[in-house]
Chains A and B, each alone.
Chain A
Amino acid sequence: MDWRRKPDIGVDAENERLDSALRATGEELLELQGQLQARLGRDHATILDAQLLILEDEDFLAAVRAGIAEGLGAEMAFTRSMAEALIPLDLPGDALFRERMVDFRDVEQRVVRALRGSAEQLPRLTEPTIFVAQELTPSQTAALDLSLVQAFVIDEGGHTGHTAIIARSLGVPAVIGLKDVCSKIASGDALAIDGSRGQVHIEPDAATLRRFTVRIARRKQAEERLLTMREVPAETTDGHRIELSANIELPQEIDLALANGAHGIGLVRTEYFYFQTAHLPSEDEQLASYRQVLDSVPEGEVIFRALDVGGDKLLAAMGGVREYNPFLGVRGARFLLRNPEILQTQLRALYRATVHGAMKIMFPMVCDLEELRAFHSHCEVVRDALTREGVEFDPDVDLGVMIETPSAVAMAKELAQECDFFSLGTNDLTQYVLAVDRTNPRVSHLARPHHPAVLRAIHDTVEAAHEAGIWVGCCGEMGSHPLWAILLVGLGVDEISANAAAVPMIKKVIRSVSLDQARTWAAEALTLKTPHEVERFMRASSNRQLREFLVSGG
């Protein structure tokens, strides 16, 4: 298996696949054009000019490449950009303009076919393996048999990257971002991976091996102790119950989440279902996926988040403007509301899923009432259509919004009047409140969720929600940190959705404090002036039980 030394797994590889698919399609079309010209004359052959021009349409290809840079496979990036480019053409009653869609769809099919022929297959894992690669795209991760992956060692990426999130949630050690470690490892090397310290030992000596064996055994014991709490509720010492659930990205994570004692799934990132295929998933395909999730969660509730993509990918397929600030651009709610077909297809699938289990639906990155009301209108359209069609669904399924922007916090009172629940997306909330791009390694260390500015935003949100009689959850990384989870409890959050692997620890943490205690700490933290003060205060205040988690988890 020499695949892992190839420098072309990931974005570069997808771009190369795209280029060669474009070349192949171009040759195919030119040959076809030659045949047409010989048979019917030059005039007829020029009908293929438009298709050839798409293959070199710089604006359009920039949009495709932006999708690839975002982590999409070339097929998905191409199909998505094409779908976006065709939206303005798809107006009813305008045959002349709709006809051209046929030409464009034909090119799309040719390119996707060419891409499929060249799809780079990751090797099939047949035995427990440490996965070493330069990069790993979401679609590649989805194709891996994760039950065989013992650890990830990835050159590129950071703490909040896709692979890091999945590894954390599966409880698999991962060392990510060592830049060139790939080139130093040969296939078959023995590796000792220390995920919590970010170390990779190549061909470890006997002493290192012994040290690792002891630590692994100790860790296993600690995990087993935690698992004994699987059946007990996440309750403070004075009986205040917190709904403790897990975030998932891949359906494979559900079993681990439930085995770890999560009551439900507080965040299903539906993006995964869109990364899986080369085309946008149809309503029926989505319904099947959502059902599968609901079927795997027999008791608790599942919260599905509508497709949350965004950033620098819509660009100029239509002569638009490239986004220099993708985090402030068309993402989350904005993407969905600009792509009503994609949104309504998903909403139809979600509404149809409501008869298969307890669930809620939430919308990402809503900033204000206009956006919330627009979502409600789309929901109404979908409900009306389903009713007319005689399809069974629950029209009263709860609709909530993610609180991720300062604007949503400022408008929380008004938003709370018109939705059924809030979920604090603390990763984005932290990024937007503190004006820190969390994907920029030069500043990402400043994205601290325990910053008093963020705590105050959370406090205001919870207050607004409870005043309106709706509940507030938290589905950000903050809820997977022992100290910050306690702060969330103290601030009045009703539900915490943590990484699947962190659920037992967070449950133990919740069970080790009283609500009174947590409230007192949160109230004190709200008066502190810097994140450093908050951290020092929480570390000093936390009792012995909490401290045992800080050694490895903090």
Chain B
Amino acid sequence: MAVRTAKISDPVGLHLRAASRIVQVAKRYDSEIQISYDGIQTNAKSILGLASLRARHLAPVEISAEGPDETDALDALVNLIERELGEEA
């Protein structure tokens, strides 16, 4: 299993559209991917799960992945959360 931390780059925080992007990216990978913040852990491929995370701008979320493509998945998600979300906003 691989684990990394990423800070939410989107100035509004983890809003619904950002959460949708995370789900869409996570779904490209076969690995089981969990994202946790503030004591809540949720499946990164579940939009309703992600919606329950109250992560604001710069909140550190922990991403863990387990499976054949875990490293790639983590790279893509960290890049998305730390950079792309902020750039797109």
Q: Which residues of A contact B (CB under 8 A)?
A: 46-47, 49-50, 53-54, 57-60, 85, 88-89, 94, 96-97, 99-100, 103-104, 316-319
Contact = CB atoms under 8 A, between A and B. Distances in A.
A319 B16 contact: no
A149 B13 CA distance: 58
Contacts, number: 73
Contacts of A94: 54
Given A318-B42, A319-B43, 8 more contacts: A47-B16, A49-B20, A57-B48, A94-B54, A100-B51, A318-B40, A318-B52, A319-B46
A44 to B, nearest CB: 10
B24 interface: yes
B20 A85 contact: no
Contacts of A316: 43, 46, 49
Contacts of B21: 49
10 contacts: A49-B20, A50-B20, A53-B23, A53-B47, A57-B47, A100-B15, A104-B48, A316-B49, A319-B34, A319-B49
Interface of B: 12-13, 15-17, 19-21, 23-24, 34, 40-43, 45-49, 51-52, 54
A46 B20 contact: yes
B46 A60 contact: yes
Nearest to B36: A319
B24 A49 contact: yes
Which of B21, B41, B46 has the most CB atoms of chain A within a 10 A radius of its CB?
Answer: B46
B48 A96 contact: no
Nearest to A99: B16
Given A318-B42, A319-B34, A319-B46, A53 B52 contact: no
Contacts of A57: 45-49
Nearest to B18: A50
A319 B13 CA distance: 20
A66 to B, nearest CB: 15
Nearest to A62: B46
Contact of B20 (A53, A89, A97, A317): A53
A318 B17 contact: no
B48 A46 contact: no
A47 B20 CA distance: 9
Contacts of B48: 54, 57, 59-60, 85, 104, 317-318
Contacts of A58: 43, 45-46
Contacts of A88: 40, 52
A319 B12 contact: no
B49 A318 contact: yes
Given A53-B47, A54-B48, A88-B52, A319 B42 contact: yes
A59 B45 CA distance: 9
A46 B85 CA distance: 14
Contacts of A99: 16
B16 A103 contact: yes
A59 B49 contact: yes
Chain A CB count within 10 A is highest, among B12, B20, B49, B51, for: B51
A162 to B, nearest CB: 29
Nearest to B42: A319
A59 B40 CA distance: 15
A525 B60 CA distance: 64
A100 B15 CA distance: 8
Nearest to A317: B48
Q: Across chains A and B, which 5 residue pairs bring their CB atoms closest together, nearest first?
A: A319-B42, A319-B49, A53-B47, A49-B20, A59-B46
Contacts of A46: 17, 20
Contacts of B16: 47, 50, 99-100, 103
